[in-house]
Structure 1
Amino acid sequence: MSLLVFGLIFLTVTLSACAQLALKLGVAKPNMEAAIQSGIVEALIAALMSPLIWVGLIIYGLSVAMWLWVLSKVDLSVAYPFVGISFLITMAFGAYILNENVTPIRIFGTILIASGCLLVGKSA
């Protein structure tokens, strides 16, 4: 696997984690939480009005476009396990940006997943 392809895979999974962060921040807003409690229609309207949700969706769109290019260059069985790296990035975002409680067992499990992804990648 070339350094360019590996870099784009890493960028793609990083963008995916960034999209998750934006979506989480978007749904955590008080007006969004209230809309979710009111019902599906209200929640959809609030989501359509949320800049953070739009940012998350746009980042996902960019990530998907890049992922399509990656899939044109690498076997799916090689590329897809790298998605596990996004677990590490997302956990770091949760801990450092959202102040979520990240336990040692969660860290260990996430590292196991990411390690497996790296081993699969090295086998390519």
Structure 2
Amino acid sequence: MTPIAFTLIVTGVLLNACAQLLLKAGTNAVGHFEFSRANLLPIALRLGTQWPIVGGLACYVVSVVVWIMALSRVDVSLAYPMLSLGYVVNAIAAYYLFGEALTMQRLLGIGIVLVGVYVLART
């Protein structure tokens, strides 16, 4: 894998992870809500005016462009599993940003993902 392809993959992964974290921040600001006919429009307006939600959606748009560029350089069978690095980034970032738990079971899962990506990247 070339350095440019690797950079594109990592950038795509980080943009995707950033999008998830921004969406979570936006929903935290809105709070728990239920979808129903009565509150569909008010909830949509509340979500649509949260800058983290808008930023998260923008990150997704940019990540798709970056991902398409990566796929033009790397086999999808190699690139797609690299997206699992986003699980690692999100788990660690959620711990620091949102106080989410990093239990031993989650840490073990993160370790397994990292080993899998390492094995995959060496082939």
> What is the TM-score with the length of structure 2 in the denominator?
0.90
Task: Tell me whether 1:33 sits opposite 2:37 in the alignment.
Answer: no
Read off the aligned partner of 1:118 and give its amino acid letter: Y
1:20 is aligned to 20
Give 3-state SS (helix, strand or coil) of 1:102's partner: coil
1:118, CA displacement in angstroms? 2.4
> What is the TM-score with the length of structure 1 in the denominator?
0.89
1:64, CA displacement in angstroms? 0.8
Give 3-state SS (helix, strand or coil) of 2:109's partner: helix
The answer to whether the Cα contact below 8 Å between 1:47 and 1:53 also exists between their aligned partners in 2 is yes
Query: What does 1:23-102 correspond to in 2, within 5 Å?
Result: 23-29=23-29, 32-33=30-31, 36-37=33-34, 39-102=39-102
Task: Tell me whether 1:121 sits opposite 2:107 in the alignment.
Answer: no
1:91, CA displacement in angstroms? 0.6
Give 3-state SS (helix, strand or coil) of 2:83's partner: helix
CA RMSD of aligned residues (A): 1.4
The answer to whether the Cα contact below 8 Å between 1:5 and 1:73 also exists between their aligned partners in 2 is yes
1:107, CA displacement in angstroms? 0.8
1:114, CA displacement in angstroms? 2.6
- The alignment-based identity, stated in percent, is 29
Listed as ranges, the gaps of 5+ residues in structure 2 are none
1:106 is aligned to 106
Listed as ranges, the gaps of 5+ residues in structure 1 are none
Read off the aligned partner of 1:33 and give its amino acid letter: G
